[in-house]
Chain A
Amino acid sequence: MTTLVFLEHHGNELQKSSLGVLSKAAQLGDDVAAVIAGSGVEPLASEAGKFGAAMVYVADDERLDAPLPQPRVDVLARLVQERGIENVLFAQSILTADVAAALAARLDAGLNWQLVDLVAQDGGLVGKQSALGDSVLVDVGWRSTPRLALFRAGAFDPTEQGGTANVEKLDVELEEHSLAAEMLEQAHEESSGPSIEDADVIVAGGRGLGGPEGFGLMEELAKALGGAVGATRAVVDAGWYPYASQVGQTGKTVAPTLYVACGISGAIQHKVGMQSSRVIVAINKDANAPIFEFADLGVVGDLHQIVPKLTELVRARKSS
């Protein structure tokens, strides 16, 4: 089977979850290629080789500079049709969800989303889709090729395999309607400290912090644990913490080793962004908060009492 992995980049970096999908494709042992679309992105191609791509297609064009979906659909549609690619895999994000769905319509192809795993079976593929707020795992299939799939961020860890890829530059031809949207402005917040996508530990705060000053406690604990700070939609909307730290449906999906949720009720919109974390610890005043239904350890209590003490104990333990 020939598999193509779409690699999303931000700035000069390929996204970790895209590289995770690429690593997974390489493990399945197919003929694996990757595609990068952007402007000035050719230097990123060698990175893709390390994670298992035998071939990297590069669409390097000024008109692909802005992260808009439709020009990328044109690039992918042509590539898939010309090379007879059977599987097209994406790490799910705001950009790739649009790209994958539009590509599905263009190619009349099946798209499955919210996948957490992919297995080869009887010469085809079966996706594992986590559905209904993770209450059920659905085996999903494709009735035709190409098969299109969106994987949840953090579904697979990127593993370096040390290969080198052949690089091929693609001619870029865009449809008229793909040029009918233009990027006027990009306001990207750069947060200090480790980014939450890459952190092994995330200490996240919600409304229960009481105000923006409560994030001081989060930062202290995150520093002691060597992690990053996350936030809920509600507090980001309230202006307590930057959007770049937002975890959940309209923010980032994370899967750290440890997630410490402080003053977070655990509404479904937040849950979908962090439920794949390996260990979840929750501190909340409200014993009925839904977060206690899925936290490995829940503590019902006042975070303003518990967190400073916890920070101190962690520091003491790490320095001993």
Chain B
Amino acid sequence: MKIAVCVKQVPDATVTKRIDPTTKRLDRSGESTLNPVDANAVEEALRLKEATGEGEVVVLSLGPEKALDSLRKALAMGADRAVLVADDGAAGSDLVATSAVLAGALERENADLVLFGQQASDSDGAVLWAAVAERLRRPMISQAAELTLADGAITGKRQTEFGYDVIRASLPAVVAVADSINEPRYPSLKGIMGAKKKPQDVVSLSELGIDAGSAGEEGSRTEVLGLSDPPARGDTRTIEDDGSGAEKIVEFLAEKRLL
């Protein structure tokens, strides 16, 4: 059983995120971290491997060389090997371009199962795995809150707006996990020390046989045209309840013609 987990390095939650007005890309100069829900995906891969008693967990990312820090965190958790696609030609890739690069790297790995975290905390993106699954021509399950492997298939419980769906996909498959699926383990000291010695490949687009025209700006089909401030929410007002809080709310609602 070979499981590949696609992860992303994102700005740390403590960093105030901003878009650089010149490049119109997210400013990634500050402190970075492994995208939180990607840690759930790594955890789930490790659990599935432990449950089957054999196999390999490969973590894979697209990003600058410093993204190796996040891959090492996954290795410290227990993943066996890391692959980073680092190539200036891939910078600025949008959804279709990113999915082309990841699919290229995944084809080389030929994993039985590909896992993603449900959402990137920096782009609010919750779509990448579907594009990757389509490029690999594999079935997919998204928003998985529970996963079980049996008889050459993966069964996932998908959280939807309406309740739960139980979906079974034959392997090889692509699955995006929700953060409710598990509690990611903390890397042990031994894990952190051991991570340094685990294989970490940094590969370029050409090494993966990916045409430069399908990655980066050239491979992208969307563009950022400009930035502006969102419409103001109007005044926000906070008051202390001195016993008249309910009355104040009623007055406010009446003022807004909501009563």
- Indicate which residue in A142, A249, A292 contacts B119 across the interface (CB closer than 8 Å): A249
Q: Tell me whether B180 is interfacial, beta carbon within 8 Å.
A: yes
Binary CB contact string for chain B from 224 to 244 against chain A (1 if under 8 A, 0 otherwise):
111111110111111111000
Binary CB contact string for chain A from 295 to 320 against chain B (1 if under 8 A, 0 otherwise):
11111111001110110111001100
Q: Tell me whether A126 is interfacial, beta carbon within 8 Å.
A: yes
Q: What bracket does the count of chain A residues touching chain B fall in?
A: 35 or more
**Known contacts being A138-B224, A139-B224, A313-B250, is A181 close to B140, with CB within 8 Å?**
yes
Q: Tell me whether B94 is interfacial, beta carbon within 8 Å.
A: yes
Q: Give chain B residues whose Cβ lies under 8 Å from the Cβ of A292.
A: 236, 238
Query: Once the chains bind, are B163 and A243 in contact (CB under 8 Å)?
Result: yes
Query: Once the chains bind, are A279 and B236 in contact (CB under 8 Å)?
Result: no
- Indicate which residue in A10, A143, A313 contacts B247 across the interface (CB closer than 8 Å): A313
Q: Tell me whether A28 is interfacial, beta carbon within 8 Å.
A: no
**Known contacts being A98-B127, A281-B252, is A132 close to B19, with CB within 8 Å?**
yes
Query: Once the chains bind, are B96 and A143 in contact (CB under 8 Å)?
Result: no
Give the complex CA separation of A181 and B234 in angstroms: 47
Q: Tell me whether B54 is interfacial, beta carbon within 8 Å.
A: no
Binary CB contact string for chain A from 134 to 149 against chain B (1 if under 8 A, 0 otherwise):
1111111111100000
Q: Tell me whether A257 is interfacial, beta carbon within 8 Å.
A: yes
Q: Give chain A residues whose Cβ lies under 8 Å from the Cβ of B155.
A: 184
State how many angstroms separate the Cβ of B38 from the closest Cβ of chain A: 15
Q: Give chain A residues whose Cβ lies under 8 Å from the Cβ of B256.
A: 279, 296
Q: Tell me whether A102 is interfacial, beta carbon within 8 Å.
A: yes
Q: Tell me whether A251 is interfacial, beta carbon within 8 Å.
A: yes
Query: Once the chains bind, are B239 and A183 in contact (CB under 8 Å)?
Result: no
Q: A250-B180, A296-B234 are in contact. List 12 more A-B contacts (CB 8 A).
A: A100-B127, A102-B130, A136-B230, A139-B227, A140-B225, A142-B223, A181-B141, A181-B168, A182-B167, A185-B164, A252-B161, A294-B233
Query: Once the chains bind, are A258 and B167 in contact (CB under 8 Å)?
Result: no
Give the complex CA separation of A263 and B245 in angstroms: 14
Q: Give chain B residues whose Cβ lies under 8 Å from the Cβ of A299.
A: 238-241, 245, 248-249
Interface of A is mostly: mixed
Q: What bracket does the count of chain B residues touching chain A fall in?
A: 35 or more
Give the complex CA separation of A270 and B133 in angstroms: 29
Binary CB contact string for chain A from 150 to 183 against chain B (1 if under 8 A, 0 otherwise):
1000000000000000000000000111101111
Interface with B: A46-54, A103-111, A209-217, which one? A103-111
Give the complex CA separation of A168 and B168 in angstroms: 32
Q: Tell me whether B215 is interfacial, beta carbon within 8 Å.
A: no
Q: Tell me whether A1 is interfacial, beta carbon within 8 Å.
A: no
Query: Once the chains bind, are B132 and A105 in contact (CB under 8 Å)?
Result: yes
Q: Tell me whether B173 is interfacial, beta carbon within 8 Å.
A: yes
Q: Give chain A residues whose Cβ lies under 8 Å from the Cβ of B236.
A: 292-298
Interface residues of B in 114-171 (CB under 8 A from A): 118-119, 122-135, 137-143, 155, 158-170
State how many angstroms separate the Cβ of A176 from the closest Cβ of chain B: 8
Q: Tell me whether B99 is interfacial, beta carbon within 8 Å.
A: yes
Query: Once the chains bind, are A104 and B96 in contact (CB under 8 Å)?
Result: yes
Q: With CB as the reference atom, state the residue of chain A lying closest to B248.
A: A299
